[in-house]
Homo-oligomer: A and B are copies of this chain.
């Protein structure tokens, strides 16, 4: 019975209740709880006991109002649906929880505008922001970073601390892997045009391929979803390439399906290399050779960098850039070039 109807009866205890029970002033309670060392041990213990017996939980609202800090940070991702971001979400969530912060998760729907808007709307709500694969321009990032603490993931910018995933490094590995298998006509299957990391991957691909004297092609842009895989596969097949390096695993998995439908065998007729090593890359058919990276760790590092920015203690030691290592995980989707 005691549900919605009966609710809203007893108001939760406030700091005042605790103070009264402990026989001290509210200021003492506040300090005892959030600044131990500022009060005598016996006092603190008395306060703690009172708080515990009342089941007291400080109001983060009130705390935020008066202290100016919210103890929350916002994580902006382009698409909560994309498994790539799930590892980031998990990583940040873990680290934030450990630091006593709350995570505010926002899906910006791949839109720069929405991202900027969120940044503005939440300026008071969050102490800082982690921008995953931001679609913002350098200027926008600069502006945002000028008023709030920001860390970007996979979107390098001189204007804010960044966690990079060293995909370029792994693109080289992938290329080496493919050439050693005898491939010489390789296609890069591109992701969203607005994606910074897509541009980066493509460029590395171009440069490195040229150096190796490979015949390259490029198709795209494609939305990074499995559903775009069909179009991507068709386009890639048309280029005559015997191997593809694909913007991300989602797209690659979609391609795998389409290629099977079309009777193009992977890896016999065409080799596919994905990127990110997301959930599913290991059990799709065939299992995907992919550029793996410690995504979850990237999330954790981002949090650390952000927290360092917030905490004056660490102000000096703030790193501006962290690069996460990557490596090629070879599975079944790559094989010798067709002779």
Contacts and interface: CB of A to CB of B under 8 A. Distances in A.
Contacts of A64: 61
A210 interface: no
A280 to B, nearest CB: 4
A146 B283 CA distance: 45
How many copies of this chain sit in the oligomeric assembly?
A: 2
Given A7-B148, A284-B283, A107 B81 contact: no
B57 A123 contact: yes
Interface in A104-127: 104-105, 107, 120-121, 123-125
Interface residues of A, number: 59
B93 A107 contact: yes
Interface stretch (A30-38, A83-91, A322-330): A83-91
Contact of A283 (B107, B159, B161, B280): B280
Interface in A144-167: 145-150, 159-161
Interface string A264-286: 00000000000000011001111
A309 interface: yes
A142 interface: yes
Contact of A57 (B97, B120, B160): B120
Contacts of A59: 65, 124
Given A7-B147, A12-B123, 13 more contacts: A2-B145, A3-B142, A3-B145, A4-B145, A4-B315, A12-B124, A12-B147, A60-B124, A61-B64, A62-B65, A80-B93, A105-B105, A284-B285
